[in-house]
Structure 1
């Protein structure tokens, strides 16, 4: 007589098969697609991106499942400088090497109003991301980002809990796949401050970064231990020194790019993202 299959047993069976598929793809070009397909056995995502960070040097784009046009906009443009404003990068800066974090849980209070959000998310159709951190070694921290387009259902607490349960295995598999990366890459070149920011004090540079990351005046004041009025004075001085009047111009000055370097028109020729919303499971 066959033993009835319980939900827990079915879940374990699916993940066991998934790990077998990922392990079979280790060190090969199909590793990341296999990783996404395996995770989708348990929780649905539309795409995956993997970056490696070493201080403020330009991050390495290790792999992704994006089409060529979105790869250029989401991965390459991001690595050119906007990554400095990324909530995932901020956690790496703070010393996180492992863990599983949902973007909207770690983002600043005014993140969706920030220029970074408009540039990196508003023009690409990314809805939500969950980042799995792993230690590659040699000063490199990897982040495997599982994402959904904004036309897909939102990530639920159950989705997050499930991915957090898988995080130790995902992190270990990714770390093993890229374990010798630090031994065969060029030493990272630290990113130098933009000449346009030379007139700013260290505190003003700190505040401009927090503004562009999406912190409100109140959030900046609380984190820096100063009054909201003092934050406003600093912001006024920053805008005056940089000769800018909008956050878009401030963003461009921070990165050293022309003000119109990033435009929603960049996505005009990109493949269309389906606009129907998939039914929640």
Structure 2
């Protein structure tokens, strides 16, 4: 997720920012809210796409806001909701801590994330080159992440961009939570959810399935060794055994086997 550096945007005047926030607050509960919130946030840092997903306490994912996603929905949203979300670093982050805050993809993603099949299918298709998310607390333990993404030839979010967005994060989370708070209780899709995706296989041990999950999420052998408190050589042995048991030779095959 690399791009060229470009001049950062400037902080808006207090009057302009205040007016944009007031417009967003007044739109809470209406279809105009997402656009009003996006307009306010673009005053702090330009971005090309805003979208979001909801996560249930029992490990499901649902659509929060993807009306203007920059890609074919069936390729991105539907595939994500069908199970690929379990590989999303944002999903791991909110499972560890569902508190309102801003999270930055490049700060939390595993070291080999950009080499994963998930990255190729999800990020390459949308042309996302940088992404931040606001964590929203919804009713009955549901959590949402509302993401801002830069795509194509845009620059990465600068440190100044990130600082401005972080400064506004608690306010953005409060507004977003207020607007979407009851959506999980109103959605028939959520009420009629199918069982959550699981990474499992009868030929693999619990430890091997743990390693498969971390490989698919983008952890290198060195990162795997650190996370699991194993030696790098032990990780390599496990990895060879997994591939041998499954009769595969690449991470792409591994991805297709578990999350096609």
Provide TM-score, normalisation by structure 2: 0.88
Report the Cα offset of residue 238 of structure 1: 1.2
Task: After TM superposition, give the deviation of residue 181 of structure 1 in Å.
Answer: 2.2
SS, match of residue 199 in structure 1: coil
Q: 2:112 aligns with which of 110, 121, 124?
A: 110
Q: Secondary structure at the match of 1:40?
A: helix
Match of 2:122 in 1: 120
| 1:75 paired residue number | 77
Q: Distance in 1 between matches of 2:35 and 2:76?
A: 18
> Does residue 240 of structure 1 match 2:244?
yes
CA positional deviation for 1:35: 1.3
Assess if the C-alpha contact under 8 Å between 2:129 and 2:151 holds in 1. yes
Among candidates 225, 229, 233, match of residue 229 of structure 1: 233
2:5: which partner in 1?
none
Any stretches of 5+ residues in structure 2 without a counterpart?
1-9
**Using the alignment, how far apart are the partners of 1:69 and 1:188 within structure 2?**
25
Q: State the shift of 1:40 in Å.
A: 0.7
What is the number of residues matched between the two proteins?
248
Q: Structure 1 unaligned runs (5+)?
A: 1-6, 258-281
- 1:191 is the counterpart of 2:196: yes
> What value does the CA root-mean-square deviation take over the aligned residues?
2.0
Identify which range, 198-207 or 166-175, moves more after superposition: 198-207
1:131 paired residue number: 133
SS at match of 2:138: strand
Cα offset, 1:194, TM superposition: 5.5
1:15 equivalent in structure 2: 17
**Does the 8 A contact of 2:102 with 2:133 survive in 1?**
yes
Offset at 1:254? 1.7
Indicate yes or no: 2:29 matched with 1:27: yes
Aligned to 1:173: 175
| Distance 1:215-1:29 versus aligned 2 partners, 3 A rule | same
Relative contact order, CA 8 A, sep 6+: which one is greater? 2
Deviations 1:159-209 (A, max 9, x none): 1111001111110011101122233241755425366x2221111111111
Per-residue CA distance 1:45-81 (angstroms, 9 max, x = gap)? 1110111101464311111352584333222221111
Which structure is larger by alpha-carbon Rg, 1 or 2?
1
